[in-house]
Amino acid sequence: MWYEEFLNKYKAGISHEFLFYFNVRDVVDNYRYIDRYIYEEFIKQRNFSIVAFYDISRGLTFLEPGMEKEFNIITANEAAGIFHAMPSKIFQYIDMALKNTKMALFIDHVDKIIPSGNIGSLSYEERIALIWLSEWSVNTKISAVGSCIFMLSDNLVDVSREILKSSYKVEPILVQLPDVNERRSYIEYLLRDGKVKTNITIDEFAKLSSGLSKKAIKDIKLKAEAEDVPISFEFIKEKKHSVLKKEYGDVLEFIYPEIGFEDIGGMEKAKNYLLKNVIQPIKKGDLRRVPMGILLCGPSGTGKTLLVNALAKASGFNCVKIDMARILGQYVGESERNFKKCLLGAQSQQPVIVFVDEIDTTFRRGDSGDSGVSRNIFSEFLQFTGNTNNRGKVIFIAATNRPDLLDPALKRAGRFDKKIPILLPELEERAEIFRIMIEKYKFETDITDFMPFAEKTDNYTGAEIEIVVRKAYELANEDDTEGTILTSGILEEAIERCRPSTQQVQFMTMLAIEECDDKDLLPDKYKDLCGNTFSQQDFNMYGG
């Protein structure tokens, strides 16, 4: 818990100034917000003389009138008429109190007082505030009298990075969203009045509400009560999507899959691996089997994205996609701030699948041409994907048809440590894909055996087979006759008219085989090639 982290650092004498960030507007238990919680659990027991609160909209306020009187005595009443002043005027008097009595100071919305950005871009007021807040963290007199400063911000990256430099002693404390046990306890507390009915169990409610704050969970309960409807899976899903879209929709794409493993043809080895090493272990709580990250390699159109969607449906886990187009901004520091928010948003959904498509073009070290933005984001991504605390909670899955272009730091063990080849479908798999595609679009057909068509579509990807099926439907309806069915003749004609369009299929297949480090994940005909390093001549032969 964040409180335990704070308390340990305080008792160890690491700092007396702390920056709490992220879920700081939520109730900590069933009813207390963070400032009241810290007051009752920490401040009240340690005989602080003054408890004060400051933000630029309300100015300086006090917990009790007697505390305001003591503050005025210490400052010789010089600050009595300027409690609503900006930091440049009021902070010098707060400084006097911090050094002369045991004072607890809460500074809310600190990102509005010392916003992120270059020092040169800060206003006079912001620079003055930054100087005071930085100096307080290393002031021995403040430490000696036992004063404490508690700063609050919704987003750490919105706060000036200067305050977190190693030369100062400000300790950032991440206040996370409630975990499943905290959500369960809070839901029990909310439902005890019996004012709303539920069509699901409390455990199911707790699991479905992952990624939500307690305030958002309470809103779900109140809305169900107001609309006089029971709390159901669909009700929670609708309200949750609305909350998450509002909070993170600017930096994350939320995926709500409608297909499962049974809806995609082939890829049996990959599906079996994901079932046994991702879904089942996480549901059983044995996270040791779960890889830190999974890299799907293979030619375009073989179903890598489809597999991720099916995994999300089969597992029931939340699923988000990192889209750099949403993250990159035009202002200095904006991209880095968006990316940090993106990662926090993804982490808040755990257990969550985080999908990165075409990762070879998404994350690169970059160069000086973009002022270090790519390098900063790449570094942040490396740090996050290598955090072992995320194992089995944040499952990173990336797709690429060019694994050779990935930075080696991404592919090392402990990040994307399982490489699964997603190759061209085999004969039986192609027949299955034909059947699934026709069922997917609800086309009528009198074909019962798709093997003859599978034999005629060697080297076709799943996406190309889908194009053939749609072409067949187009041909079947050329005369605008209703109730047309796809016959063998029509499907054969569609195959004749459609040719494979995926470029460099053999080259991308060789790259995926070379990347694979587990024979069990390769089709039998490729197993002898596992671990091989192909020569440049091999690659040149296939257009590499």
In the predicted structure, residue 479 carries a pLDDT above the cut 50: yes
Residue 542, pLDDT > 60, answer no
Whole-number Å distance between alpha carbons of 146 and 135: 16
Residues 337-368 have pLDDT tens digits of 888 888 888 888 888 999 999 898 888 776 55
Most confident of 223-232, 343-352, 509-518: 223-232
Q: 532 versus 410: which is more confidently predicted? A: 410
Domains of the chain, CATH where assigned: 2-175 (3.40.50), 180-247 (1.10.8), 261-421 (3.40.50.300), 427-497 (1.10.8.60)
In the predicted structure, residue 41 carries a pLDDT above the cut 90: yes
Q: Is 223 exposed, middle or buried (0-12, 13-18, 19+ CB in 10 A)?
A: middle
CB 527 within 8 A of CB 519: yes
Q: Which positions ≥6 away from 493 have C-beta within 8 Å? A: 472, 475
64, two tokens: 């009790």
pLDDT-above-70 percentage for the chain = 94
Determine which of 113-122, 185-194, 431-440, 501-510 has the lowest per-residue pLDDT on average.
Answer: 501-510
Give exposure, 118-153, as e/b (b: 16+ Cβ within 10 Å).
eeeebeeebbbbbebbbebbebeebbebebbbbbbb
Per-chain mean pLDDT for the chain: 89
pLDDT given at position 24 = 96
pLDDT of residue 338: 85
Q: Where residue 541 falls among pLDDT bands split at 50, 70, 90? A: very low
Average pLDDT (220-233) is: 93
Residue 350: predicted pLDDT: 82
> Comparing C-alpha atoms, which of 308, 387, 377, 312 is closest to residue 339?
377
Worst-scoring range by mean pLDDT, 23-27, 246-250, 279-283, 388-392? 246-250
Q: Is the pLDDT of residue 243 over 90?
A: no
DSSP 231: B
Helix-helix angle 124-138:87-100, to 10 degrees: 10
DSSP-derived secondary structure for 419-481: EEE-----HHHHHHHHHHHHHHTT--B-----HHHHHT-TT--HHHHHHHHHHHHHHHTTT--
Amino acid at 490: I
The pLDDT of residue 539 is 47
Q: For position 364, what pLDDT does the model report? A: 78
Strands 318-322 and 252-254: antiparallel
Does 370 score more than 70 pLDDT?
no
pLDDT score of 241 more than 50: yes
